[in-house]
Amino acid sequence: MDLLRHFARPLPMEVICELVGIPDADRPRWREYGAAVAAGIGLNFAAAVPGIIEGAKAAVARRRAEPADDLLSDLIRAQAEDGDRLSDTEMVTLVWQLVLAGQTPTNLVANAVDALLAHPGQLAALRAGPGRMPGGVQELIRWCGPQLLAIPRYAQEDVELHGVLIRTGEPVVAAIVSANRDPRAFPDPDRLDLARAPGAAHLGFAHGPHFCLGASLARVETEVALAGLLHRFPDLGCAGADAARVPDGGTWRLASLPVRL
């Protein structure tokens, strides 16, 4: 089976729908949106945006009429108690942002499984010690995290950085993938070691004021996905040749992940 298509890609959308409050009947359409978002910028991505916005508007209206135990219902209750907290437009925008950012585990889970299958010793150690999963996921984010580049920052004044003059208004982009393989921060950085001591933190979720707000959810989601997968399918293995990568300058991601269960 293609683990990307049938597991890693639909899982994050199911989680977001459950948290936000998207009814089961509407989720097949949202799964299509999630697949378009996870596939990256392109015609399908652009076409999905209006649908996500309309779907978010409908979800807000439905939860206003039928409150439940979910994020939208909590926001609507807060809005009723203090009307200046969030407008409907802000709630729709929040749902859109959650859908967009919430697809991060798609490529992280796929990359992690691909890495583990290519390193049977590390996979065996993880199976033998389930308690290693949280630290193992941190190492997998460092070693094969999907995000390659930080968002651009713009110089507020002329500044010289390592002998290079950066003028006011010029963009600077940090290579996250390079920082996560920096030998000054990680001994033997090209080696995947799920027992690696925490040491310096990786930059898989950026840093400072731009640190990913959904990092904890992405980590836990990946831990649960890998733990469930390895427990349910003890004979999980590669099926055929090496998985193909998508040519993408900003994201390290697979086109498919054929596995044998």
- Arch. (CATH architecture) of 104-260: Orthogonal Bundle (1.10)
For residue 84, pLDDT over 70 is answered with: no
pLDDT, tens digit (0-9, with 9 covering 90-100), for 86-132: 788 888 888 878 877 777 899 999 999 999 999 999 999 999 988 99
Amino acid identity at 135: G
For residue 38, pLDDT over 70 is answered with: no
pLDDT, mean over the chain? 88
Among residues of the chain, what percentage have pLDDT more than 70? 96
Are 238 and 116 spatial neighbours (Cβ–Cβ below 8 Å)? no
d(CA 111, CA 175): 18
- Those residues with Cβ within 8 angstroms of residue 261's Cβ, 6 or more apart along the chain or in another chain: 1, 233, 235, 236
d(CA 34, CA 38): 6
Domain spans in the chain, listed from the N-terminal domain onward: 3-101, 104-260
CA distances from 91 to 28, 103, 134, 239 (A): 22, 19, 32, 43
For residue 204, pLDDT over 80 is answered with: yes
Domains 3-101 and 104-260 share a fold: yes
Q: Which helix (H) or strand (E) holds 218?
A: helix 215-232
Given this model, what pLDDT does residue 199 score?
58
Q: Which DSSP category does 194 fall into?
A: T
d(CA 74, CA 204): 30
pTM over 0.75: yes
Assigned fold of 3-101: Cytochrome p450 (1.10.630)
Given this model, what pLDDT does residue 118 score?
94
For residue 31, with 0-12 CB atoms within 10 Å meaning exposed, 13-18 middle and 19 or more buried, which class applies?
middle
For residue 144, pLDDT over 80 is answered with: yes
